[in-house]
Structure 1
Amino acid sequence: MVAAFIIGGALFTMPIDNAKSAGSPYPPTDSEYEKVWSDEFNGDSLDTDVWSPYTGGWNASEVQGCYTESAENINVSGGSLNLIGLYKPGVTCNKGKNKDFTSGFVETKEKQAWTYGYFEARIKMPNNKSTWPAFWMSPNVKRYGEGWPMNGEIDIVETKGSDLDYAAADAHWGKSITNKTHKNSHKSDLPAGFSNTTDWHTYGVKWTEGKLEYFIDGKSYHTVEGFGQPNAANTPHGPFDVPFFLRLNMAIGGTYIDGPGGKWSNAYNVVAEEPGTFPATMSVDYVRIYQRRQPKEVEVKDTGLRKLLNEKLGEKLGTTRTENQKITDVELEKLTDLNLDNSNITNLTGIEAAKNLKNLSLNHNSISNLSPLAGLTSLKTLSLKENKITDISPLTGLTSLTSLNLEDQQPSIKPTDKSFASPLKDLAGNVVSVTNSADVINSTTTPGNIQILSLPANGASPILNTSWTRSVTLGTASATFSGTLTIDTSAIPRAAQPQPQPQPQPQPQPGNPSAAAHNPDNKPQNAVSGLLANTGFNVFLGVIATLALVAAGLLILR
């Protein structure tokens, strides 16, 4: 790869071999830490809100180069911070003590500083024999005195271009430069398999109270502790108990490389014998800082679950806890096994913070929502027998499972229509079919729906039941997702029932006063008997009239 820069109107190019491979997985296993800051160097310039270039010479260890802020010595490109050493005859600095070489040096001094944490950088070192790259930390305050190393120094990594299989960690402290302590690592301490600093490697230090632990590619290889600083007698962790800032630099020449008078301690020997190793580039993929998390309260909505978690935490931590005591994420992460069977739990909210659970049993509860379990990817065994679960798709990421129980679920639903969306979902979120019966089937007209064929009669119980079963595999666990879905049909409208019609009432006949006379209370009468009564009376009147006419005729004949 070639980096190009415009300096003073002129275009400069130089080769930068910073092709990246996969980074180290560290820090990784310590759940009590979280990333608090990083620079991934993905832009095209140095973030000067965080970093400042150090400029000038370095008046120690016979370092030869001058540090500049020029883009030819410090630049961000290709996803990396690049500190570049150059042979520049005629350049001088530090009152002439440093000359003919330039390089890059950046630091967070007076901008960012931290006390305790895990600090790492992924770095590719140069192959120039007179280079001395370093990733290190210095104190931001002078609590223990003015001179070096009274306030301490943490060297996360230093390498030598003269030995590409060498990397060292160190710490310095003491009353003066002539009365000091330092505990550096040795080449024999390096992790097995480490070699070639010109490859990408991750270098880090975990700094805690009274201890510095150094890592390469996630492997611990050197520890410094028991500082015993005479001028910090009342602060046993001093001088490493104050804020420190970060430094990244690449020195050219210096006695660290080959000792005083050593061949490669003098960069002119490289110019004479291996001039092609200039420019020399130290590339930094990222710098990341992790610190111990501040505990955060976890909301546990289910009172039964909160009570049980406090009981389990009391046992685990050896403390006495109240039923409603506040629970933190850091505390829950200490739990690895939980048996919460037969506890009438309905809501699992809060258990998602128990990220290190390996075995969890929740049989015989009333759980319906499995979403809080979705992130518990360390689970090996999970038992959820006899709950109210309809959707198991939140479990799809639990691929470490070796045992799983999802049998005999007892959920319920109250639809408002005879055809309704099925709540039953498998791991992929697909609908699980029910077992067809005379009353309930899988809809043939609306896929994914359940269809009620026959509603219970009026006055009968409105409850229908339908069962389901589905085989599932998750991780190496095989299980059966099964149960009975209770359907309450009381909210589904019924068809209107026919109502009985009223019988017509008899009315009095016009011109028949005798009807009212014989029924003074106007009570209903039988229509047939009334008709017969009226007919007989009329016949009687006709007979009387006939007899009267016959009698009149006989009188006239006389």
Structure 2
Amino acid sequence: MGLAALAPSVPPAHATPTMAERRLCGATPVFDDEFDELNLSAWILGAARWITHTPWAGDFGDARFTDPGPGSAFSVHDGILSITARKDAEGHWSSGLLASADRDGHGFSTMYGYFETRAKFPPGPGTWVGIWLNENVPQNWMRPTVEVDTIEYYGQFTDAFHSTVHVWPGHSSEPQGGAAQLNSVPAHSLVDDFHTYGTLVTPRWISFYLDHKEFWRTPTPPQHRLPFMFLVNLALGSGWPIDKTPNPTAMQIDYARAYRPADADAFARCLVASASPGGPR
């Protein structure tokens, strides 16, 4: 279904929200990064909150994903994380990705729950934003795996974004499957302001939300057998030209949170009610 209008977003807060303020419909975050500081590692999580590559070494797109540290794609200011894509003097692009678990399965993942990110997207064609979930797959796993793309946003199409549930066959003989939805939004709205992007995963349904308004749901695939990690990235390309991509260009992220509500149905009803002015929180 199209999204005719977007709820106005509140400007980023400069003070870290209290735990009470981070509660949502009675649930407290079980994963929460307010981006007051960088808490990143390259490949092995250790004491960090994120790694900066996919755990399966499957980085993608036309920009190299950087390690953390000097010259990386990542910076924080006033509680906002910027992931910046930039081109060096030799014409090579770099950018960034965050994943909440590493190749050894360490880090955050959960079988069911609500994942939410508040973000503002980069302007310009060639950008490829992803906010997504991927199963935390152990080595030698032979069954299919599930990926949930809350949003894929291609910067040359400012009036729409994609949401997808992928079922990848992996090492099994099962066919590829899943479901997809193209969602319409006012042109440039996701670039001009911050919005919240959410996914609620239950045993029965995967539901998708923009500013707490449900815009799509699809049955949870029976192949979902492993907990989901959280991923956020600014990639470039995906088959689209990047010759007109602004240099530099940045995705801004206010927070990334995950909740495990005790009653998913009640949480979903409250979430939609909270999208209305004065609704419950």
- TM-score grouping bracket, smaller chain normalisation: 0.7 to 0.9
Q: Percent of aligned pairs with the same residue?
A: 22
Q: For residues 22 and 66 of structure 1, what CA distance do their matches in structure 2 show?
A: 29
Give TM-score scaled by structure 2 length.
0.72
Amino acid of the residue matched to residue 39 of structure 1? Answer: D
How far is the alpha carbon of 1:38 from its aligned partner?
A: 0.8
Change (3 A) 1:64 1:248: same
Residue 266 (str. 1) matches residue 251 (str. 2): no
**Aligned pairs, number:** 233
Give TM-score scaled by structure 1 length.
0.38
Q: For residues 100 and 120 of structure 2, what CA distance do their matches in structure 1 show?
A: 20
Q: For residues 54 and 246 of structure 1, what CA distance do their matches in structure 2 show?
A: 12
- CA radius of gyration, larger in: 1
Aligned to 1:253: 237
Aligned to 2:51: 52
Root mean square deviation of aligned Cα: 3.2
Aligned to 2:199: 205
Q: For residues 176 and 125 of structure 1, what CA distance do their matches in structure 2 show?
A: 31
- On the 8 A contact 2:166/2:179 being kept in 1, the answer is yes
Q: For residues 250 and 110 of structure 2, what CA distance do their matches in structure 1 show?
A: 28
Q: Mapping of 1:345-384 within 5 angstroms?
A: none
Q: Mapping of 1:308-347 within 5 angstroms?
A: none
Aligned to 2:211: 217
How far is the alpha carbon of 1:74 from its aligned partner?
A: 1.3
How far is the alpha carbon of 1:176 from its aligned partner?
A: 5.0
Give the unaligned 5+ runs of structure 1: 1-18, 92-99, 228-236, 256-264, 272-276, 295-377, 379-558
Give the unaligned 5+ runs of structure 2: 1-8, 14-20, 42-47, 264-279
Amino acid of the residue matched to residue 93 of structure 2? Answer: F
Residue 35 (str. 1) matches residue 29 (str. 2): yes
How far is the alpha carbon of 1:22 from its aligned partner?
A: 6.2
Q: For residues 128 and 145 of structure 1, what CA distance do their matches in structure 2 show?
A: 39
Amino acid of the residue matched to residue 184 of structure 1? Answer: A
- On the 8 A contact 2:142/2:170 being kept in 1, the answer is no
Q: For residues 176 and 59 of structure 1, what CA distance do their matches in structure 2 show?
A: 17
Change (3 A) 1:143 1:54: closer
Q: For residues 150 and 123 of structure 2, what CA distance do their matches in structure 1 show?
A: 20
- 1:206-248 deviation line (CA, Å, top 9, x unaligned): 1111310000001000111052xxxxxxxxx432x42111111
Amino acid of the residue matched to residue 34 of structure 1? Answer: T
Match of 2:62 among 56, 61, 64: 64
How far is the alpha carbon of 1:144 from its aligned partner?
A: 9.4
Aligned to 2:161: 167
Change (3 A) 1:47 1:145: closer
Q: Mapping of 1:411-430 within 5 angstroms?
A: none
How far is the alpha carbon of 1:133 from its aligned partner?
A: 0.9
Amino acid of the residue matched to residue 249 of structure 1? Answer: N
Q: For residues 59 and 37 of structure 1, what CA distance do their matches in structure 2 show?
A: 24
Residue 124 (str. 1) matches residue 109 (str. 2): no
Residue 283 (str. 1) matches residue 252 (str. 2): yes
Aligned to 2:189: 196
Aligned to 1:21: 11
Q: For residues 161 and 23 of structure 2, what CA distance do their matches in structure 1 show?
A: 20
Aligned to 2:74: 74
Aligned to 1:186: 182
Q: For residues 286 and 77 of structure 1, what CA distance do their matches in structure 2 show?
A: 13
- 1:352-383 deviation line (CA, Å, top 9, x unaligned): xxxxxxxxxxxxxxxxxxxxxxxxxx9xxxxx
Amino acid of the residue matched to residue 228 of structure 2? Answer: F
Q: For residues 210 and 114 of structure 1, what CA distance do their matches in structure 2 show?
A: 16
Compare the two structures and name the one with the higher helix fraction. Answer: 1
- On the 8 A contact 1:55/1:68 being kept in 2, the answer is no
- Structure showing greater relative contact order (alpha-carbon pairs closer than 8 Å, 6 or more residues apart): 2
How far is the alpha carbon of 1:290 from its aligned partner?
A: 1.1
- 1:30-69 deviation line (CA, Å, top 9, x unaligned): x4x43222111123x2355211112898565xx2111112
Residue 238 (str. 1) matches residue 238 (str. 2): no
Secondary structure (helix, strand or coil) at the match of 2:145 reads coil
- On the 8 A contact 2:12/2:254 being kept in 1, the answer is no
Secondary structure (helix, strand or coil) at the match of 1:120 reads strand
Amino acid of the residue matched to residue 120 of structure 1? Answer: E
Change (3 A) 1:89 1:180: farther
How far is the alpha carbon of 1:167 from its aligned partner?
A: 2.1
Aligned to 1:390: none
- On the 8 A contact 1:81/1:285 being kept in 2, the answer is yes
Amino acid of the residue matched to residue 290 of structure 1? Answer: Y
Change (3 A) 1:105 1:143: closer
- 1:273-315 deviation line (CA, Å, top 9, x unaligned): xxxx211101110011111239xxxxxxxxxxxxxxxxxxxxx
Match of 2:98 among 84, 92, 106: 106
How far is the alpha carbon of 1:182 from its aligned partner?
A: 2.3
- On the 8 A contact 1:55/1:67 being kept in 2, the answer is no
Q: For residues 120 and 84 of structure 1, what CA distance do their matches in structure 2 show?
A: 21
Amino acid of the residue matched to residue 237 of structure 2? Answer: G
How far is the alpha carbon of 1:175 from its aligned partner?
A: 2.7
Q: For residues 210 and 278 of structure 1, what CA distance do their matches in structure 2 show?
A: 43
Q: For residues 129 and 194 of structure 1, what CA distance do their matches in structure 2 show?
A: 13
Match of 1:133 among 118, 129, 133: 129
How far is the alpha carbon of 1:90 from its aligned partner?
A: 3.6
